[in-house]
Structure 1
Amino acid sequence: MHIETLLLPPGDGVPNHPRLPLRIYRRIMTAEGRAFDARAFERRFDHHRWPPDWRGGVYDYHHYHTTAHEVLGVSRGAASLELGGPAGIRIDVEAGDALLLPAGTGHRCVEAGADFQVVGAYPQGQHWDIVRTPPDAAIRARILAVPDPDHDPVTGAPFRAE
C-alpha cells in the first residue's frame, strides 16, 4: 500500500480543511493479494472505529461535509474525482484505493465506469451533512470543531495530523 498526503488550500466555493491533509491510499490488498472489495473495506473501517454507512457512487457536484470526516473505499470499478473544488486536483481511483477526506474537503465525481462503487464511512459518533454553498465563518468554525479521529480508518494506527 502506498499513501499520499496533500494539504489542499481553500478552493473556489469549498473551504477544504485548514490543518488536516487529504490522504490517498493506493493498492490496498487482502491477505490473498486481491484488491479490497466492499465487505473487506467495511470490516476494516469498522474494526478501526469508522462504522461503514453506505455503498454507492460519489455525487457529480462539488460538495463537502462540515460535521464529519469521511473515508471512501473504492470497492469496484474506476473513476476520476475532483478534490478541493473546481480549481483543485483531479485524481483517478480504482478498486482497492481509498481516500480520507477531512471535514471541509470538496469532492465530486467527474467520470466513472458503470460498475464504480465506494464504501463510505465516518468516525464513530460523527454524522455527515452535505454542503454545497461557499463557506462563511460559521461553516469554517463547524469544520474546525470536528474532532480528529482516534484511528486512521485504513491502517488502524493512532491518528495524527501530518
Structure 2
Amino acid sequence: MTPQPFLLAENAGIPNNPRLAACLYPAALAGQSAVQIRAHLQERDWTGTWRGVIYDYHHYHSHAHEVLVVLSGSAQVILGGEGSSELTVGEGDVLLLPAGVGHCSPSHSPDFEVLGAYAGGREWDICTPQDTDLAWARGRIAEVPDWAQEPV
C-alpha cells in the first residue's frame, strides 16, 4: 500500500522531523478488530499499545515514533503544528508519526477511538510548543532509531 506522505518543516515551536515524513495509509486496517490490529502492530515491533483519542492540543513525542490506527468514528487531525496540514481520518486509517511530528485533533465524532503504539518499545513523552525547549527536543529526536518495519 502506498502511503500519503507529509514532509513537514519546523513550525510554530513544533520541530517535526527533518528526515522522516508523517504518512497516512487510508483504510489500511479497515475491518479489523482492536485485538487483530494490536497483534498486527506487535508483529512489526510497534508496542506499548493504548486506546483513546488524540489530544486536542498541539503536541509531539521527542523520543518515540508513534502509530495511530482509527478503530471507530472520524476526526479532524492537524499534522505539523498550528496552521499546517489538516486531514480527516476514519475507521481503518493508519497515521505514522515520526518523532517530533506535531499532531492534534481539534474535533472528532462521539464514537472516535484510536489504538496507538510506539516503534521498537520506545518510551514516549509529551512535548508542547509552549513548554518544551526546541533545541533539547531536536537533540532527542535525532537519537531516535528508525523503525524496523512500517506499521502497515
TM bin (shorter chain): over 0.9
Name the residue aligned to 2:59: 63
| TM, length-normalised to structure 1 | 0.87
| TM, length-normalised to structure 2 | 0.93
Name the residue aligned to 1:10: 10
Name the residue aligned to 1:25: 25
Contact 1:14 1:135 in 2 (8 A): no
Gapped regions of structure 2 (runs ≥ 5): none
Name the residue aligned to 2:145: 147
Gapped regions of structure 1 (runs ≥ 5): 155-162
Give the C-alpha shift of residue 36 in structure 1: 2.9
Secondary structure of 2:119's aligned partner:
coil
Moved over 2 A (4+): 34-37, 133-136
Distance in 2 separating the partners of 1:23 and 1:41: 18
Counterpart code for 1:28: A
Out of 93, 96, 105, the residue aligned to residue 97 of structure 1 is 93
Percent identity between matched residues is 42
Deviations 1:32-66 (A, max 9, x none): xx533322221110111111420000000000000
Secondary structure of 2:78's aligned partner:
strand
Indicate the RMSD between aligned Cα atoms, in angstroms: 1.4
Contact 1:37 1:76 in 2 (8 A): no
Contact 1:42 1:52 in 2 (8 A): no
